[in-house]
């Protein structure tokens, strides 16, 4: 087990302390995504597929334009992933109010995959945060939120 005294040194915002945070973010993200990555690998999908499925579930009838705004990827990158998800029956593509607008929703198969992937990550987070009090958790969420660029904070607030 890690020596918490070594981890929780007074933060004077020196480079070594900031590098420690960078490394913690790297390792925690790697381990946070490893469970879903194993599930996705079995069906020849990657993290981009996971992101699309997650946000389509979060905002049913999401437009392609809205999804591009959330993910901040190119149309070409989204097109490749989205075409595969539609072709394999995970996402349903429908026409919006105006014929140029395409709406996205999950099929039953897509709902099942999203649930399986999210349950892994929800359980991982739950098993960690259950050991902390509300102030610790809110402090952690504040730090994460402040790391998001201001324009993206607005997008986060719009979808939450």
User: 114 lies in a domain?
Assistant: yes
Residue 108 sits in a domain of what CATH number? 1.10.10.10
User: 17 lies in a domain?
Assistant: yes
User: 67 lies in a domain?
Assistant: yes
Instruction: Count how many domains the chain has.
Output: 1
Q: Is the confidence at residue 2, as pLDDT, over 70? A: no
User: 133 lies in a domain?
Assistant: no
Total residues found in the chain within this entry: 160
Q: What is the pLDDT of residues 71-126, one digit of tens each?
A: 999 999 999 999 999 999 999 999 877 878 889 999 999 999 999 999 999 999 99
User: 86 lies in a domain?
Assistant: yes
* pTM reported for the whole predicted model: 0.87
Q: What is the pLDDT of residues 13-48, one digit of tens each?
A: 788 888 989 999 999 999 999 999 999 999 999 999
**Domain limits at 27?**
13-124
127 burial level (CB within 10 Å; 0-12, 13-18, 19+): exposed
């Amino acid at each position: 087990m890690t020596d918490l005294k070594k981890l929780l040194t007074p933060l004077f915002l020196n480079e070594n302390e900031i590098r420690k945070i960078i490394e913690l973010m790297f390792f925690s993200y790697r381990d946070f995504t490893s469970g879903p990555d194993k599930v996705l690998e079995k069906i020849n999908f990657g993290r981009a597929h996971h992101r699309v499925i997650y946000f389509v579930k979060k905002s049913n009838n999401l437009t392609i334009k809205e999804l591009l705004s959330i993910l901040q990827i190119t149309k070409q990158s989204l097109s490749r992933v989205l075409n595969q998800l539609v072709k394999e029956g995970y996402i349903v593509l429908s026409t919006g109010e105006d014929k140029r607008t395409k709406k996205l929703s999950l099929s039953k198969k897509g709902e099942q995959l999203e649930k399986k992937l999210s349950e892994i990550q929800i359980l991982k987070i739950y098993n960690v945060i259950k050991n902390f009090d509300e102030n610790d958790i809110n402090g952690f969420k504040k730090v994460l939120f402040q790391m998001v660029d201001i324009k993206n904070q607005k997008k986060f607030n719009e979808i939450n």
